[in-house]
Amino acid sequence: MEFPLIEKKWNKNNHSMDIVYPNKYYGGVYCLGPLIVYNIVNSMENWNCNRVFLDKGSISSKLIGFTLQYELDYYNVLKMLKNAGIPADKSMRKEIVFAGGPCISTNPYTLSDYFDFAMLGDVEETLPQVLRIFESSKSKEDFLKNIADIKGVFVYGITSNPDYARVTDFNNAPYPLYQPFEQELDGNFVFGKTFMLEVERGCIFKCRFCSLPQLSNTTGFRSMEKIKEIIDTGLELNNRNHVSIYAPSFIHPERNKIMKYLLEKKVTFTVPAIKIERIDYEFLSLVKAGGTRSITLAPECNEELRSSVGKYYSDEKLFEIVKMAEDIGFEGIKYYFLIGLPQQTDNDIEKMATLALSLKSKFKGKTYFSINPLVAKSRTSFEGIQFDRKIINHQAKLLTSLMKKNKVKIKPINVSTSFTEWKLSNALSFSKPRADHLHNDA
């Protein structure tokens, strides 16, 4: 049994909607998007919203929304529709199936054969409009026609110029205060029972592999007063003693005050991967005081190549942060690196290995390295760059060899999975690939 749930009395005039996370419950329960939808829909008169996961709950409504956070979940969309007895062919079904989330915002076309419409960007102001039109529509065709011109709604075959919806007043946007969890959790739930606290939306940085710079040119910050209100209400309502801070970069102008307030509330907290450019001693000390034992940093590559991915700081800056982490008492540091970057050579790979080994030698605690191939996605500065499996496999083998030679273990680099992710991200549709090379090994 989950707690806390939004419980509403059912009557004959009620409408229902399913918000579906097409993967396991233990991951989806930490996704803020479905919680935003769950809270918005249930706040509306005559509406009920059900949360459905790959392994929990069942699709039962006429209006069904999928949230797509990862391209590899596309296969689960079709699997879940089939298990619910709903035709994948949208012309053959009475149900209305739509999608939103970051994958849809970056490329809304891949699953266009299966979704009736897509929601692009923020949903806080768009979703209520869609639901009110649903209430008054006489048919599926009537409904789709009537929502086609709403900003942020892309009705396939009808909307001529799809645009992205943005919350006009982020500080006063509705907040998902109800965040249900099962009473008993196992080790798969990596953050335990936590309260998700979104303090900002958007990002000022211009990382070339990220879609945020092209999807949103603004960054919204909630005020300290509003954040305190959300913390106070959310912790009491959900009976939580841990907070997960949600932010693409966590550069909130009052971020230290936010952490100090959480410490005053005597709750532990975790922060997202932190921007190297914005780290100082006080910030790291507060992160440690909140109960975090390890931090995550993303150098991406060697210093000479780093500016090509939109990151501008020296290796010396990295070493300064490592020393801070050592002095403050962190137990571990995890680093993210990329291979398969444009113009990345064997010499760059060797320099990356040298940097990784230097970082490890300068920290007495545990050091972890996550090495991933670049997946050049739609609506990023790297869009159009092909995934060359031959080159990437060579770089993965070279880097693994260099690290192994120095007795440093790294997690196996899954080139095949990244290749599939790239194909799905850049495909025009499952049945109509954007180019022939999407079916080849590149």
Count how many domains the chain has: 3
Q: Same domain, yes or no, for 413 and 358?
A: yes
Domain that holds residue 384: 293-442
Rg of the Cα atoms in the chain = 23
What's 334's domain CATH number?
A: 3.30.750.200
Task: Mark which of 290, 320, 343 sits at the end of a domain.
Answer: 290
For 389, half-sphere exposure in the C-beta direction (CA atoms, 13 angstrom radius) is 16
Backbone dihedral region for residue 436 (phi beyond 0: left; psi -120 to 50: alpha; all else: beta): alpha
Predicted pLDDT of residue 430: 64
Q: Same domain, yes or no, for 133 and 63?
A: yes
The verdict on residue 167 lying in a domain is no
Q: Same domain, yes or no, for 235 and 354?
A: no
Q: Same domain, yes or no, for 229 and 314?
A: no
Residue 316, SS3 per DSSP: helix
Give the strand pairing for 268-270 and 200-201. unpaired
Which H/E stretch holds residue 338? strand 332-339
Q: Same domain, yes or no, for 297 and 285?
A: no
The verdict on residue 184 lying in a domain is no
Predicted pLDDT of residue 293: 95
Predicted pLDDT of residue 431: 57
> What stretches in the chain show pLDDT beneath 50?
432-442
Q: Same domain, yes or no, for 329 and 389?
A: yes
Predicted pLDDT of residue 439: 35
Q: Same domain, yes or no, for 264 and 301?
A: no
Cβ distance 99 to 65 under 8 Å?
Answer: yes
The verdict on residue 83 lying in a domain is yes
pLDDT in tens, 115-170: 999 999 999 999 999 999 999 999 999 999 999 999 999 999 999 888 999 998 99
Beta bridge partners of 220: 201
Predicted pLDDT of residue 435: 36
Predicted pLDDT of residue 433: 41
The verdict on residue 181 lying in a domain is no
Q: Give the predicted TM-score (pTM) of the model.
A: 0.93
Task: Mark which of 102, 133, 155 sits at the end of a domain.
Answer: 155
Backbone dihedral region for residue 284 (phi beyond 0: left; psi -120 to 50: alpha; all else: beta): alpha
Q: Same domain, yes or no, for 202 and 341?
A: no
Task: Mark which of 155, 181, 215 sits at the end of a domain.
Answer: 155
What's 198's domain CATH number?
A: 3.30.750.210
Q: Same domain, yes or no, for 372 and 255?
A: no
Q: Same domain, yes or no, for 141 and 98?
A: yes
Predicted pLDDT of residue 203: 86
Which H/E stretch holds residue 28? helix 25-28
Residues 6 or more apart in contact with residue 60 via CB below 8 angstroms: 16, 18, 50, 84
The verdict on residue 176 lying in a domain is no
Q: Same domain, yes or no, for 418 and 402?
A: yes
